[in-house]
Chains A and B, each alone.
Chain A
Amino acid sequence: MPPSSRTLESPGRRRFLAGLGGLSLVLGLGLRPSSVVANLSPERLRRSMQAQYGERGMASLEAWFALLDRLRPADLETRLREVNAFFNRRVRWLDDIDIWGQEDYWATPLETLGRGQGDCEDFSIAKYITLKELGVPGDELRMIYVRARIGRSGITQAHMVLGYYETPAADPLVLDNLVPSITRGSLRDDLDPLFSFNSSGLWAGGSTRSRADPVARLSRWRRVIGRMQEQGFIQGG
């Protein structure tokens, strides 16, 4: 799907002002722009990546674009497998504290790709966004907090995976960065699910109205969504 090239420079000043007036009118009337379409803007993504991570990041980004192009005609199973594999292969798993110098930093896919490293949330977010971009309905994707037992030892660790639900009541397919293959949740004895969420719960009603919305900064999930908008993953709003 070619991106709709909506350049900001082209409209004349008059149209810009008219648009501004219309927007302020819409805001003033308490109406909101229709819910955000996860429709990325390659131009902006490239600019953001170039600016933040340079050539190495650009290579990853181009690979990601290639992946998207390749998977668009593919069936669901292939998509899930390839997306899971893409990030598991490309991104090195590290704790947030080592990557970002802070505990539990939620990175956008661009940041994850740019650094080539991320922790479990970063994997899940990146996969979530990629699958959504490929047209997988958001309702069927959930990020799941799980308790993971590492190896044969009794050590457990907080972890996050992405689950794919064919139906809400179904046993999900789990996309995990610790395990290369995709398996049903019920087969994962090492994982103990606690809670799940996706954009419809926290990001309800398309309320990511603007980056200036102070509430957007209060929730981690929404903060990362905000950054994604800035970087070009999500247009609109």
Chain B
Amino acid sequence: MSLIKQLWLTIVVLLLLAFGGSLFIGVSSSRAYIEQEVRIKNADNANALALTMSQMPKDPVTLELLVAAQFDTGHYRRVELRDPQGEIIEQRRAGEAIEDVPAWFVELVRFEVPPGQAVVQDGWRQFGTLTLESQHSFAYRSLWRSSLELVGWFALAAALSLLLAWWIVRTIRRPLRNVVEQALHIGERRFTTIPAPRTRELREVVVAMNQLSAAVRDMLGEESQKLDLLRRRLQHDSVTGVLKREAFLAQLQIHLESQDSRASGTLALVRLARLAEVNELLGHGDTDTLLHALANGLDQFGKVRGGGVVGRLNGSDFALLLPGAHDLEQLRHELGKRLASLSDQSRVPLGLPAALVDYAQGDQRSVLLASLDGALSAAETRGDQSLVIAQGPQRRSLFTSHGAWRRALQEAMAKGIYLAHYPVLDGKGELLHFESPSRLRLNSEWQPAGVFMPWISRLELDSQLDLAVIDEAVRDITQRGKPLGINLSAASIQDARFVMELQARLRARPDVAKRLWLEIPESLAIHDLASFRSLCHALQPLGCRIGLEHVGAEFTRIADLQDLGLAYLKIDRTLIKEVDKIAEQQTILRGMATLCHSLGILAIGEGVENREEARMLFELGLDGATGPGIRQHDKSAG
């Protein structure tokens, strides 16, 4: 039996005892009081009448009159006079008159009042014994009434007590439930902390568990920082802290091939002009500081917009990747301001020319970079602070206007979404789930997500598309019975209505929820942690798994995310690529896998290109792999 139930039982039993007891005492003391009163009355009246009779002549008429007068004018059940031999001389009797009192109550209380007795004296002799019983039927009625009244008051008091008890139990129960929940979380290796409740015993437990959680968090923080240090050494420029050329180019490639809203945006190139001169003027150390400040400024610029990536292409050139940013003019304006403020802070005059170009899915990396280079040279010649918008590669857009896009997308979503199936396999080749990027039929061709996702974001159709995808996934899972992985966009998880709708759909289909894997890009989850947290809280109880994709740069933040109960992490392909050849990468991945396992999280590698990489990943302890190199050999996709 649960503690709360026992508590309730105790309260109810105590209440019943208290009220039953006081009812019993109330009734029995009233009964005793009434009996006493009647007894006194019996005795007194018997003596008074006997005294009178003793003084009167003892002829039958007088005696009868005396008895009758007493009986008729008083409230008696019996007045009788017997001679010393016990023979009745005179007697008057009346029946009991108990009205509107239940028989069981009368039986229960049944007064036991001895009759009053007195001896009538005739000179020295005893003439007879007078016995007198008062009518006490009225007492049953008044006792019944007062009992009913007592019960009424008790009911009221009981109701109030129960209300109070309910309140008390609630104040105990809420922290108790929190404690139990925390204990369960810790059992699931989610090291959550909760505010310490006021109840002392509970508080001690919570404080202990919170300490445990804090210790785990610290440990995680340290471990992940160590890993991040390794990763940074591998991928980041030691002077400025931004990505090295190779790492940045790999990122750019991933963006260009991406199936989501990252697939289009803006790429910018910023140059610190005349680096050699600046170096001579400032000296080596200050120049490094300046470069660092510039890289940092660009990094912040990217972070503010969400998902920005900065890389140092060579000594003086920095590239900035802004996925999802389409308004080139505005970007030019804002970037210009940022660069101007940077050069204002410098002691020496700086030249910070820049060039911007928009990119879209399928563009060639080399073409983009070449056109940026050209534009940057032009900007450099134009002036120190000039920003130029480069002519991007010629692209054939499906639709020409926003309106056309909106109409087409709405129509396509209404017609139905097609979900692609890319397997995610574990070390034994078993299916973990299918990654299912969506396809929409636009211009009578199935188009990959990379084509329409930027437009979906731009037209703010994210939640609509995501819901349509969920519906399709529900249908798919019902049909095939295979687990599916679905991407959710940042806009959707910030949309409370979307979360509610999703919750309702999954609640209606718990069997489907169990097979649904929902994933969100790491950078977006970190960018809006609050929304991500509330999404996790809303959906996890329904049984679906929530994970992060493209995990890499922000792995250190796993300490902040561990209490959310993430089911899996998909590690970004920049860390997976050529893992079979690069030892540092292996160290990082092994560490990440170990950390994930200590929290009960699956570690999955993204973008695996060949069998060697896959084999290495599983050797390093990863739980799953996906990518072009991963194909389901033994099982058909459904």
Residues in A lying within 8 Å of B, measured CB to CB: 28-30, 142, 144, 163, 165, 167-172, 174, 184-186, 188, 193-197, 200-202, 204-205, 207, 213, 215, 218
Contact = CB atoms under 8 A, between A and B. Distances in A.
B25 A197 contact: no
Given A30-B112, A142-B126, 17 more contacts: A29-B28, A30-B32, A144-B124, A169-B83, A169-B85, A170-B125, A171-B124, A172-B125, A185-B123, A185-B124, A186-B124, A195-B50, A195-B51, A197-B118, A204-B114, A204-B117, A218-B40
Contacts, number: 77
The 9 A-B pairs of least Cβ separation, nearest first, read A185-B124, A168-B84, A205-B114, A169-B84, A168-B126, A201-B118, A195-B51, A195-B54, A196-B121
Contacts of A185: 123-124
B133 to A, nearest CB: 12
Contacts of B121: 144, 193-196
B124 A172 contact: yes
Given A28-B28, A207-B39, A200 B117 contact: yes
B36 to A, nearest CB: 6
B43 interface: yes
Contacts of B50: 195
Contacts of A194: 51, 54-55, 121
A216 B116 CA distance: 16
Contacts of B24: 28
Contacts of B43: 201-202, 204
Contacts of A193: 121, 123-124
Contacts of B129: 168
A140 to B, nearest CB: 11
Interface string B357-370: 00000000000000
Contacts of A30: 28, 31-32, 35, 112
Contacts of A169: 83-85, 125-126
A204 B35 CA distance: 13
A196 B46 CA distance: 13
A215 B125 contact: no
Interface in B114-149: 114, 116-119, 121, 123-126, 129
Contact of B25 (A28, A171, A205, A215): A28
Contact of B47 (A172, A201, A205): A201
Contacts of A186: 123-124
Nearest to A171: B124
Interface residues of B, number: 31
A142 B119 contact: yes
Nearest to A186: B124
Contacts of B25: 28
B55 A197 contact: no
B193 to A, nearest CB: 52
B47 A204 contact: no
A150 B83 CA distance: 33
Contacts of B123: 185-186, 193
30 contacts: A28-B25, A28-B28, A30-B28, A30-B31, A30-B32, A30-B35, A142-B119, A142-B126, A144-B121, A144-B124, A169-B125, A171-B124, A171-B125, A185-B123, A185-B124, A193-B121, A193-B124, A194-B54, A194-B121, A201-B46, A201-B116, A201-B117, A201-B118, A201-B119, A202-B47, A204-B39, A205-B39, A207-B39, A215-B40, A218-B40
A218 B43 CA distance: 13
B62 to A, nearest CB: 17
Interface string B27-44: 010011001100110010
A28 B39 CA distance: 18
Contacts of A172: 124-125
Nearest to B55: A194
Nearest to B119: A196
A196 to B, nearest CB: 5
A205 B36 CA distance: 11
A19 B482 CA distance: 77
B118 A163 contact: no
A172 B25 CA distance: 48
Contacts of A215: 36, 40
A205 B114 CA distance: 6
Interface in B9-65: 24-25, 28, 31-32, 35-36, 39-40, 43, 46-47, 50-51, 54-55
A168 B83 CA distance: 9
A216 B580 CA distance: 108
A170 B83 CA distance: 12
A188 B124 CA distance: 10
A204 to B, nearest CB: 5
A186 B125 CA distance: 9
A65 to B, nearest CB: 32
B70 to A, nearest CB: 17
A193 B122 CA distance: 8
A193 B54 CA distance: 9
A109 to B, nearest CB: 23
B308 to A, nearest CB: 83
A202 B36 CA distance: 13
Contacts of A170: 125
B570 to A, nearest CB: 74
